[in-house]
Amino acid sequence: MTMKIQNSLTQACELIQKEQLSVDDYLGQCVALADALEPTLKAFTVRASLPTLIQESGSGPLRGIPVAIKDLIDTKDFVTSYGSVIYKDFVPTEDAEIVKKIRDLGGVIFGKSVTTEFAWRNPGATTNPWNGGHTPGGSSSGSAAAVASGIVPLAIGSQTAGSIIRPASYCGIVGYKASYGAVPRSGVHPVSGSLDHIGFFTRSVADAVYAFNLLKNSTTEENDSIVIPELILKPVNAVLDQRKPRFAILSSPFDDLLSQEQVDIVKKAATLLKASGASIEELSLPQTYWDGIEALAVLMSCEAAVVHKKHLEQFPELLGADIKELIEKGNAYSERDYLEAKNLQIALRKSIGSYFEQFDAILAPPATGEAPKGLSFTGNPVFCSLWTFIGTPAIALPVGKSSNGLPLGIQLIGAYCEDEKLVNMAAFAEASFKAPYN
């Protein structure tokens, strides 16, 4: 990365509100950086011009803030292709609910960030900002890369398995997936309604909390929506004054997939947390929980088969092989298979809460290791899938770098609807890690 704008989301908002930073100048810097990096980064499918950005900047807490919107999310003035050639010229008639919120708060849509095809496999052209020969992760590829490279301070993404946490980790930024149903999904092309989450890419925990508080659901009008009260971040010292933060390091049946560097970074994170005053314990979960990963595959494929039925019938030659395979798997499951998976999801969402009576957050790997080489594979989501299935909040934090100079981090997981506790644990962890390479 040859250039980097240092203002975080909260910093930029504060400076603009105090008129210590000109909206025109700030947006001009962002556009100039995108112009310089995009030929190799390729984070966007389309971008707004600087005059348009300046003209559309409104008043409110997000005044003048450029936001990247994943190309799975409807925008009325940009082509929204959902990563598919079927929709290469499609312009929605109205914005998704979260886009409306951004505009109403004074923010501007900088552009549409690259997604994999219908947020499944078949990656786009986006490269990793730290090394263009590696993937940025997926499916929220462009959103993660745009924030990590400094082009925008906030990007919106989605996660149905690991599409926020994993790219955030690969790109060395914060990725926050709130509890299932807490962020508006209206106007977002579904992958699987039982699993889809909308989330945020930022450069700090405070930025993620700020974005969530502004853009979260304020009503329960949408299907499966919940309203979580405004999250309040306490000073790190206040967290310590209350009592010793308790973290549990999770072991899983998939730990043999981890690189040694990823194992070491989790240990390093635990050591730093302990040095900052936290307690660390080990946690194993019963096999029933890990069965949830197979159940996620059932829900995802069954629901995707319904979503893409019209695409398969009308545009079979334009659908990628991965989507076709997903539809085929979904059609092969029985109604009983689907209902059993759904019942397990509901049961685990309820039962996981009992574990959080013993600790404040689970510490786990966000991925198998550094971003894989090449652009054809966006990485294994297995270390994120269980938490997406259950719908618990999760947040990715950078910790260090691999021997190849690529970011490595951890994820923290909280109890369902206990997002405030999770983000406070994340802020404590962030201060402990001190993001050594940012």
Task: Spot the catalytic one: 163, 192, 385, 432.
Answer: 163
Give yes or no: 163 in active site: yes
Task: Spot the catalytic one: 139, 194, 225, 385.
Answer: 139
Task: Spot the catalytic one: 42, 57, 70, 177.
Answer: 70
In this structure, what token pair is assigned to residue 62? 């997000």
273-311: burial string, b at 16+ Cβ within 10 Å, e else: beebebebeebebeeebbbbbebbbbbbbbbbbebbeeb
Count of H-run helices and E-run strands, the chain: 15, 11
Contact 108, 119 (CB under 8 A): no
Q: Read out DSSP for 196-228? A: -EEEEEESSHHHHHHHHHHHS-SS--STT---P
Q: Read out DSSP for 45-79? A: EEE--HHHHHHH--SSTTTT-EEEEETTB--TTS-
Give yes or no: 81 in active site: no
Q: How far is CA 417 from CA 16, 107, 398, in A?
A: 32, 27, 24
What gap in Å lies between CA 182 and CA 198, rounded to an integer?
Answer: 8
Per the rule left: phi > 0, alpha: psi between -120 and 50, beta: everything else, 348 is alpha
Q: Which residue has the tokens 């050594």?
A: 436
Specify the amino acid at residue 168. Answer: A
**Residues forming the active site:** 70, 139, 163
